[in-house]
Chains A and B, each alone.
Chain A
Amino acid sequence: MKRLISYAITLLILAAATIQAQTPPAKSIASKTIESLSKGKIELTIPHLGAGVERIVLENGLTLYFYEDHKLPLFNVTALVRCGAIYDPLERNGLSALVGGVMRSGGTKSISGDSLNILLEYIGGSLETTIGTESGSASLSVLAKDQDLGLKLLADLLRNPAFPQEKLDLAKTDLKNLIKRRNDNPNRMVSTYFSNTLYGDHPYGRILDWSSVKGLTVQDLADYHQRFFVPNGIILGISGDFNKTELLSKITQYFGDWKKSSLPLPSQPEVALTYHPGVYQVRKDINQAYLMIGELGIKRDNPDRYAIGLLNYVLGGGSFTSRLTSRVRSDEGLAYHVASSFDTYSRDYGTFAAECQTKSVTAYKATKIITEEIEKIRKEGVTEQELEDARNSIINSLVFRFDTSSKIVSNLVSLEYDGYPPDYFEKYLDSYRRVTLADIKRVAEKYLKPDQLTYIVVGKPETFEKSLSEFGKITNIEPAKPVIE
């Protein structure tokens, strides 16, 4: 009994302290009008299977989502493919990017890349492939009258890409140029060094080098395709002006005899949850300091992701209404862009990062304020009003994720690809509604570690008004000229 009472008392004291600390926010002259015009329930229909969208799995494992929508004479397909740079060995870093590029540019075994270009451009259509860190994709967009042709080409490209030598050479030249220009843009530099410092050689943090690209062969590309482009690793999302029965018979015709693979996906290298506190100053002759401050965060299956989303919204994710923008930009005029992000979408540990660019002479001041705000939100959490505002923004804008049939389909395809349940969006609202002030406080304490922060600064440290040494041990980095021989 005694313990219970004291617990309650503590709560009361805490509540009183909170009330005292928070003077009620002043209301504007227009606040009543704004309030009265902000009423009315916001109409939201969460898409689910059966309501317009259907899902079918072919015998070979190819999964289809489709939405028949005759409003416009358009036909769109997005295919997500289970592959990604996450599976690239370090010594073949760049392989996925090359496969994604050459798959399209090289065409198929029956129609060359150049003919594909001629054909698609002539009908005003597009078919593009790309492979990112944790997924590959192919997107087709044609007018409805060209849907049969489009589907044929898409199937041919997914199943029989040619990977000709000359297109591989061209793609390598593009990458070589990208590598060569690596240190041209401070924005690109700061994020490259940030990820590399946090992740090292893990695929989330690798720096693309010519040494791992130059030896890649067309056989490597073909092997990759053979390994990952299998019907049971692909989800197709189709929307637009088609007839379902006809579409299904075509899909069966073009994809049905594709043999499924029994090989499981390779395991993904794990991110070591380690911290790299310190200040890393990367030299570049510019008149601003580009700052990126952060550390490893969470994996996407972490149930705290909703509370973290709201926490980050208040800290620096909610644009002008966020604390970082309010202080660094609006109060102090120190930066045009200042924001924080807390990645809750990666399979493995994503990052928390705050960033801004400020003139060299205020580098210290901006760094100090950002650090203070991280410490403050960790210590004090957020106010009820802040939580409510963040929650309303996230919930009320959900309708825009479903305002066209192609968005509805691609959202559902992504859910399945990422392993979320089909009722994810229905639960999504509740997951945000349930978050309490105490949850925010708890996740802030748990996941923000001010003493472990990595500070990456691109600029000219000798022009800063004060050394950044109070934020950690300083390491100076002279960016090396990329080796591209």
Chain B
Amino acid sequence: MFKSHLSLVTCAFLLLTSLTWAQSADVQLDVKKHTLANGLRILVLENHSAPVFSSIIRFNTGSVDEYPGITGSSHLLEHMLFKGTKIVGTSNYEAEVPIMARIDSLAHLAYAEQVKLQSPLNAFDSTRLKQLRQQMADAQAEQKQYIIKDEMWGTYLQNGGTALNASTGNDGTQYYVSLPKNRLELWAFLESDRMANLVLREFYSERDVVMEERRLSDENTARGRLAEATAATVNWASSYRWPVVGWMSDIQTVQREDVEQYFKSHYSPSNAVAVIVGDVNADSVFAICEKYFGKIPPQPLPRPVVTRDAPQAGERRTEVEYDASPMASICWQTPQIGHPDLPALEVAANILSNGRTSRFYKNIREKKLGTADAGADYSRYPGTFSCDISPYGDHTVQELETAVYAEIDHMKSEKVTDWELQRVRNQVDAQLWRSMDSNRGLASRIANSEIMTGDWRDFLNRSKAIKAVTADDVMRVVNKYLVKKNRSVVSIVRPEGEQPAAAAPRKNK
């Protein structure tokens, strides 16, 4: 620390030399938009620096659009959308139809058995369920002769496709791939085909895969357990209360027709956007999309989600026992996207925990209490401002909680500094420029903005809004939202009566 006078002088000097900030131009993007008659919005940004393009198709459908009994369906569909259509992934769709009908009726019978199993009032015969499952497996084996596995995935890969995948969230699902530039029409063919002609084949075995995914990411990690309990604690009424992957009992029992119905109502052209960024010509993209996606019939938008939580009236606390070191999530309820308070909440989160100059880093991590990370949602329906905390050494979750509240209270009574605000503004600009270097990243931002707000410029506007946030704004929103009665605290604790395994010499070979 004795050197600090020297560093400060250097620092001040260096800062002066770099204060040319005002000169940096705003990011301008020449995004072209075309809406097909069926409502599908196509957005194109040309970037001719390499002979490739990135694509994203985003549906305005996620776990929030589901209901109890079919939770996890958006995610299950994410898997099913790679299983082929009436013409892709099958050598004989007509022959598959009766087999799938047979599997469905067996599944109904199995479902009836599963329901019986859930109540102690019913006599339950486990051999019956086993038998039905075997019959389903046999029928599926019969169907297999017609199935050409993962043809879409394989086709993309063989054509050089990278960043190939799909993801599902609470608010939306997206399907993406980056391809060499002369594979645009191949993309349009495959994507329009699965939007129009999806077949939910291998549905019941895929349920098993999803159950494994649930065990892997939600049940066997402390973070997964914490996230699931947090959502269910914060949201009493809102559909954000169930996990994106769905409740286990729903994944186990959901029927093919239910998911098919959900697909029909929610995966329509008017409920989607397609974004292409790369070495393409916008007019050609529009023409190709007219040719392939234009054929898909229009349909009304799905029912909006109207269920809302009442304002929270008191702190909520949940404990989850799990064999891992303690950690916790603290959440405050906040409004949905479009609300003018969100940029100020984002700035607050940024000042609290983004980077090594942030308040949590200086006052919690550097004091060796543990780590704390804050974040603010921009979600389709009311979301949260959250802090994830994880204590170091023998420090406790309670100590970290106290430290986090101290920082937040400080923000309530004292304005954040001009330096902090300017730091956030400068970072927003720099990040925006950096994001321009990735077709994939840009496509994602454009798609996200367009589907969530109806305006692809939203991510640019949001940057402007963040830059306009004042110290008073931050103080006001922190006082308004980050209060005890609006808070939920969910923590991971060691199972009662269990201590971590005793110290023993490690075996090294």
| Interface of A toward B, CB cutoff 8 Å | 25-30, 33-34, 37-38, 40-44, 71-74, 105, 107, 109-112, 114-115, 117-119, 121-125, 141-143, 145-146, 148-149, 152, 162, 169-170, 173, 176-177, 180-181, 183-187, 196-197, 200-201, 207, 209, 276, 284-288, 318-321, 326, 329-337, 357-359, 389, 392-393, 395-400, 402-404, 406, 477-484
Contacts and interface: CB of A to CB of B under 8 A. Distances in A.
B52 A403 contact: yes
B112 interface: no
Nearest to B25: A73
Nearest to A172: B368
B148 interface: yes
A101 to B, nearest CB: 12
A29 B149 contact: no
Given A170-B368, A321-B153, A403-B50, A111 B159 contact: no
A28 B151 CA distance: 8
A478 B428 CA distance: 48
Contacts of A73: 24, 433
B496 interface: no
B236 interface: no
A269 B334 CA distance: 56
Interface stretch (B2-10, B261-269, B337-345, B452-460): B2-10
A481 B150 contact: no
A359 B215 contact: yes
B7 A115 contact: yes
Nearest to B368: A173
B216 interface: yes
A105 B355 CA distance: 12
Contacts of B190: 34
B325 A200 contact: no
Contacts of B160: 42, 392-393, 395-400
B392 interface: yes
Given A37-B189, A117-B356, A288-B215, A181 B220 contact: no
Contacts of B148: 25-28
A119 B15 contact: yes
Interface stretch (B62-70, B372-380, B498-506): B498-506
A145 B208 contact: no
A196 B507 CA distance: 9
B7 A112 contact: yes
B437 A72 contact: yes
Contact of B155 (A34, A184, A331, A334): A34
Interface of B: 3-4, 6-8, 10-11, 14-15, 17-18, 20, 23-24, 49-52, 82, 84-93, 144, 146, 148-151, 153-155, 157-163, 178, 180-183, 185-186, 189-190, 193, 202, 205-213, 215-217, 219-222, 323-325, 355-357, 365-366, 368, 370, 392-393, 419, 422-423, 426-431, 433-434, 436-439, 500-509
B433 A143 contact: yes
Contacts of B82: 320
A160 to B, nearest CB: 12
B211 to A, nearest CB: 7
A176 B159 CA distance: 46
B357 to A, nearest CB: 5
Contacts of A34: 88, 151, 155, 186, 189-190
Contact of A320 (B153, B178, B182, B392): B153
A205 to B, nearest CB: 9
5 A-B pairs with the lowest CB-CB distances in the bound complex, closest first: A124-B430, A333-B208, A396-B160, A336-B213, A403-B50
B158 A392 contact: yes
A277 B332 CA distance: 52
Given A115-B7, A481-B502, A28 B87 contact: yes
A176 B370 CA distance: 11
Nearest to B10: A111
Contact of B430 (A111, A115, A125, A321): A125
Contacts of A319: 153, 157
Contacts of B88: 28-30, 34
Among B6, B92, B212, the one with the most A-chain Cβ atoms within 10 Å of its Cβ is: B212
